[in-house]
Chain A
Amino acid sequence: MAATVTNRVAGRFGPYGGRYVPETLVAALDELEQAYAEAQADPDFHLKLDLLLRDYAGRPTPLYFASRLTESLGGAKIYLKREDLLHTGAHKINNCLGQALLAVRMGKKRIIAETGAGQHGVATATVCALFGLDCVVYMGEEDMHRQELNVYRMRMLGAEVRGVSSGSRTLKDAINEAMRDWVTNVRTTHYLLGSVLGAHPYPTMVRDFHRVIGREARAQILDKENRLPTAIIACVGGGSNAIGVFYEFIPDREVRLLGVEAGGRGAALGEHAARFSGGSPGVLQGTYSYVLQDDNGQIALTHSVSAGLDYASIGPEHAALHDSGRAEYTSATDAEALDATLRLARTEGIIPALESAHAVAECLRLAPTLSPRDILLVNISGRGDKDMGILASALNLSGA
């Protein structure tokens, strides 16, 4: 039989990305890819989305000069991109509004999603309420416990939250369960994936819906400083907020792009979610990227104090940016993230999400090593209200 060497699917970032899924899902991915391409070419789609982003979600978000933090660190000027001020409390709403409009275009009445920290779940539940769509959110039981407030918010909005008890009971397991639902109900259901992960077209599409972050930030910093920042810092779980804020700056070679992974509580496999220092290329959940895995190709367990960074793989475009050296990736430990949360709260009156606090932690390390002529732009991807339980016990806030 003749060798059938086929062209690879689009959606490659260098060697990374692609589409590694059960055959049953391919038609739905093709349909989504096509619907997205048509929407991209349709001015009416952009008009609708822009209006929702402005009047419903609260865009543009401010770029805030953190003068007290800058002063206390005695180095670079620090600007914060305030995605935490968006409706639902994080950048996740950008993508959810975009995908919900697509689901409506495709005539899908049922939405499923996974969530780690609950911010994507809340944003999904929110857009489903807004558009009158049925909503099921899969969430690891460990995450339901540590992000309980967001479970209540999703239920308040009319979503069904399904606990996932397999594996480490966190984000990876929630994605497995969401994919099982999708493969079963693929004819009626849109899978509203919440990060730049999964099979093509998700990494590209989700990135595009978050590009607005960097587009705004670039215009804002030029407006305020009349020059580009020295570096942009963002936390990286799947990597949606990071790619969103990085993307417009990729051609600006003089701007350093810094992604911060979860260093957890140690360097041993299972104790962190630092994919670039501890992982190697592999396929997980539809895409080829860096993966934390053992010698036999079994996916490793992960740990982070922040549920949103607690994931064994990373968006494929980040893998390509890492290999090309265009972006640099570092990590912050649980303790550094907690410390950074407190520091930002006390100096600026802003409580970041524990995820975003990883970016703040890198800023705390980096700013003092730079000069006052340097500018750091830190993406505050979400707010910390959801983390009050963890913060209360870690920082002894109960007043006892």
Chain B
Amino acid sequence: MPIRFASKPGLVAYITVGDPDLATTHNIAIAAIDAGADVLELGVPFSDPLADGPVIQRASERAVKNGTRLHDVLALAAALRLERPQTGLIIFTYYNPVLRFGLENFCAAAAQAGVDGVLVTDMIVEESGEYLEALHRHHLAPIFLAAPTSPDARLERICAASQGFVYALSRVGITGTRASLESDAEQLVKRLRRFTKLPIAVGFGISSPEHFAAVGEFADAAVIGSALVATIEQAGPKNAPIAIARFIQGLRGGIREPAVPTR
């Protein structure tokens, strides 16, 4: 399935797979899709998430502790692909679990599962030779991060190497919610537009309907991560899917008909 944003702004939802457990993650994912997420980022838990703030660190730690593996993330993706064929599915990971799995094996398994794209947090364009070749072989979209600190020459390379969408970081720093959205984002999106016709999704620190609407003014989609993971943490396993559905519906300000999450 190509990555598509059905509504404006599009919504990319990040969840850490295996937090609190695999069955709950499945239900959360379905709830997020039915509530209006266009694209799902399935986060592979990692022991050393150095780009993440405390919320995703804690989720990652819980998921690693309960034994969640890259295999499990791919199996979940395969299940979601069957149940919700229209949703964009992205594997969001640090590089080491992919290397350990084997780059080629991983790409083959991801394609087999029906995954659309891959985002590796610690992969930069200069290091991406073999990585891009493997993704291209399996028709997986490489998604790269663009940062406010990236000079134009880098943005050009990032755009050239990306497919699906370009992920623009709203600010420098690690993942996590902020009270206000920083002004770096709009400037960065403007710079990126000069180099690409791909949709641009803005992420990092987006947690409220106000942020979501503000991002919609200048970007094609918003990525919601830590705010969802925190909601899952607070709601607990039983209530997490419904809490996520409500949260996402709240972001859209009730534009979409609320869907009842499964189970």
Contact = CB atoms under 8 A, between A and B. Distances in A.
Interface in A279-312: 281-286, 291, 293, 295-299
The 5 closest A-B pairs by CB, nearest first: A297-B100, A297-B97, A184-B173, A24-B147, A23-B145
A9 interface: yes
Given A3-B136, A183-B51, A297 B96 contact: yes
Interface string B118-154: 0001111111110011001000000011111111001
Interface stretch (A14-22, A123-131, A244-252, A254-262): A14-22
Contacts of B16: none
Contacts of B61: 166
A344 B188 CA distance: 59
Nearest to B172: A24
A5 B133 contact: yes
Contacts of A282: 96, 99-100
Interface stretch (B5-13, B42-50, B217-225, B243-251): B42-50
B161 interface: yes
A40 to B, nearest CB: 21
Interface string A148-190: 0000000000000000001100001001100110011111000
Contacts of A167: 47-48
B189 interface: no
A22 B100 contact: no
Contact of B123 (A20, A28, A172, A281): A20
A324 interface: no
Contacts of B259: none
B123 to A, nearest CB: 7
Contact of A283 (B96, B126, B129, B154): B96
* Interface size band for A: 35 or more
Given A6-B126, A23-B169, A297-B97, 14 more contacts: A3-B132, A19-B124, A19-B127, A20-B122, A20-B127, A23-B124, A23-B149, A167-B47, A175-B50, A185-B172, A187-B149, A296-B100, A297-B70, A297-B96
Nearest to A9: B126
A6 B128 CA distance: 7
A373 interface: no
A373 to B, nearest CB: 46
A306 B69 CA distance: 32
Nearest to B101: A297
A176 B48 contact: yes
Contact of B133 (A3, A7, A24): A3
A23 B48 contact: no
Contacts of A396: none
B48 A6 contact: no
B111 interface: no
Interface in A167-215: 167, 172, 175-176, 179-180, 183-187
Interface string B145-176: 11111110010011011010000010011100
Contacts of A35: none
A283 B122 contact: yes
A299 B157 CA distance: 31
A17 to B, nearest CB: 10
B172 A187 contact: yes
A24 B96 contact: no
Interface of A: 1, 3-9, 18-28, 166-167, 172, 175-176, 179-180, 183-187, 281-286, 291, 293, 295-299
B128 A26 contact: no
B62 to A, nearest CB: 13
B79 to A, nearest CB: 20
B57 to A, nearest CB: 7
A26 B64 contact: no
Contact of B50 (A6, A7, A176, A293): A176
B1 to A, nearest CB: 17
A179 to B, nearest CB: 5
22 contacts: A3-B132, A5-B133, A6-B126, A19-B126, A20-B124, A21-B124, A22-B121, A22-B147, A23-B124, A23-B169, A24-B147, A24-B172, A27-B149, A28-B149, A183-B51, A184-B174, A186-B172, A295-B100, A297-B96, A297-B97, A298-B46, A299-B48
Contacts of B163: 1
Given A26-B124, A298-B47, A6 B129 contact: yes
A18 to B, nearest CB: 6
* Residue of A3, A175, A185, A297 contacting most chain B CB atoms (<10 Å): A297
A6 to B, nearest CB: 5
B98 interface: yes
Nearest to B155: A23
A88 to B, nearest CB: 27
Contacts of A291: 96
Contacts of A285: 48, 50
* Residue of B94, B122, B132, B154 contacting most chain A CB atoms (<10 Å): B122
Contacts of A3: 132-133, 136
A278 B51 CA distance: 27
B70 A296 contact: yes
Contacts of B127: 6, 8-9, 18-20
Contacts of B174: 180, 183-184
A18 B157 CA distance: 18
A238 to B, nearest CB: 15
Given A23-B169, A26-B124, A27-B150, A298 B144 contact: no
Contacts of A172: 48
Contacts of A284: 48, 96
A297 B99 contact: yes
A8 B160 CA distance: 16
A186 B151 CA distance: 14
Nearest to B162: A1
Nearest to A22: B51
Given A19-B126, A296-B100, A4 B161 contact: yes
